[in-house]
Amino acid sequence: MGNWKDNLIDIAPYVAGEQPKKADFIKLNANENPYPPSPKVIEAINSFKAAGLNKYPDADATPLVSAVAERAGLSEENVFIGNGSDDVLALCFRAFFNSGKPVLYPDITYSFYPVWCSMLKIPYELIPVDEDFNIRAEDYKRENGGVIICNPNAPTSIGRDLDFMREILDANPDSVVISDEAYVDFGGVSALPLLKEYPNLAVVQTFSKSRSMAGMRIGCCFGGKDIIGALRAAKDSYNSYPVDSVAIAAGCASIADEEYFRVTVDRIIRTRDRLTDELRKMGFDVKDSSTNFLFASHPKYRAADISAFLKTKDIYVRFFNKPRIDNHLRITIGTDEEIDALIGALKEYIKNPGMGIDIRED
């Protein structure tokens, strides 16, 4: 006789950045935006007619699809909106990767990809990035059941150009190629201009980072008619209404405030470039970032120790206890004050590095 517990899912889930329970700390470990969403978003939520919540939302989030499509110069049939880009990506894996051949992605990238493969029983092959953590387009010219590239990549922060994406797309006309562009607004190069040439391209973006709306859960996919049609069919096979009415209204308000979007992104880029300089002055090796975070290591001090020390100062950065990157820190760009506190703490550590407590975390 079997045990009912044998029938439960057996999977290693994605582990997100720690969410400390205490009130007063500096959280630089989840690549969140330190600034609030646009005042227009706040106003849209405050004036939302909650009495209308008895009705289901628009199943395809049409008003938001329309606003996002217009901003991108595309039509509604080219845009899909979901409950955060994790939801959109999960649907992409479900809808596009059915060939039985391995899906290709870098060994160092967003650690949710293997989780979806495992959950959906999709075979995959990890393609090593080079010793400087660059993804090489030539490595994606082999038989596959799909390709997903995070560009700019996480956690390395490294962005690649349009020629790089074009090279991968040219080599893979028979697979869907996903460009995960969660961080693209902070200086990356979007593959959106390639959509007209490549019907097998899916570009996934999010409102969580550059639009300061991680708590709202809005993500989108841009693609040709067939790509978006497959996503809608996948959505309607598990949850017809993944985007609620409040999110639709708030998302539209965010798109309507281009000025706030630009100012906030520019502010983060400026803080990022300042922190890059400061870290390099302290001897850190810091990758040139096209994102709202930095990927850094120090030749003298262990990342685990630095992370543990920072925690004693109530500053949380992300440390991955994983092969190839277990001496690196991923540091989200916070406000200027938060980054000043981080710089101060790191200077203190470097003056007296014995203070680290070796707590390994993932």
How many Cβ atoms are within 10 Å of 123's Cβ, its own excluded?
A: 13
Question: Cα(251)–Cα(241) distance, rounded to whole angstroms?
Answer: 15
Q: Measured from the CB atom, is 180 or 305 closer to ligand PMP?
A: 180
Query: Does the footprint of ligand PMP cover residue 28 (CB under 6 A)?
Result: no
The candidate with the shortest Cα–Cα distance to 332, out of 216, 186, 191, is 186
Question: Cα(238)–Cα(229) distance, rounded to whole angstroms?
Answer: 15
Query: Does the footprint of ligand PMP cover residue 213 (CB under 6 A)?
Result: no
Kindly list the distances between the CA atom of residue 206 and the CA atoms of 1, 180, 216, 297, 362, in Å, as whole numbers in the listed order. Answer: 47, 9, 11, 28, 24
Question: Cα(301)–Cα(285) distance, rounded to whole angstroms?
Answer: 11
* Selected binder of ligand PMP within 180, 185, 257, 305 (CB under 6 A): 180
Beta-ladder partners of 270: none
Query: Does the footprint of ligand PMP cover residue 185 (CB under 6 A)?
Result: no
Query: Does the footprint of ligand PMP cover residue 159 (CB under 6 A)?
Result: no
* Selected binder of ligand PMP within 29, 78, 179, 208 (CB under 6 A): 208
DSSP secondary structure code for residue 73 in this structure? T
Question: Cα(115)–Cα(122) distance, rounded to whole angstroms?
Answer: 10
Residue partners of 123: CB distance under 8 A and separation at least 6: 100, 101, 102, 103, 117, 145
- Output the smallest distance, CB 89 to ligand PMP, in A: 6
Query: Does the footprint of ligand PMP cover residue 84 (CB under 6 A)?
Result: yes
Site string for ligand PMP, 217-246 (x = CB under 6 A): --x---------------------------
- Output the smallest distance, CB 149 to ligand PMP, in A: 10
- Output the smallest distance, CB 211 to ligand PMP, in A: 10
Query: Does the footprint of ligand PMP cover residue 190 (CB under 6 A)?
Result: no
* Selected binder of ligand PMP within 59, 119, 126, 214 (CB under 6 A): 214
Site for ligand PMP in 98-117 (CB under 6 A): 110
Query: Does the footprint of ligand PMP cover residue 343 (CB under 6 A)?
Result: no
Question: Cα(23)–Cα(58) distance, rounded to whole angstroms?
Answer: 37
Query: Does the footprint of ligand PMP cover residue 140 (CB under 6 A)?
Result: no
* Selected binder of ligand PMP within 38, 85, 212, 264 (CB under 6 A): 85
Q: Measured from the CB atom, is 31 or 38 closer to ligand PMP?
A: 31
Question: Cα(142)–Cα(359) distance, rounded to whole angstroms?
Answer: 40
Report the half-sphere exposure of 97 (CA within 13 A, side-chain side).
31
Stretch that binds ligand PMP, among 1-9, 78-86, 158-166, 243-251 (CB under 6 A): 78-86
Chain mean position to CA 51 = 34
Query: Does the footprint of ligand PMP cover residue 356 (CB under 6 A)?
Result: no
Residues of this chain that bind ligand PMP (CB under 6 A) = 31, 84-86, 110, 150, 154, 180, 182, 206, 208, 214, 219
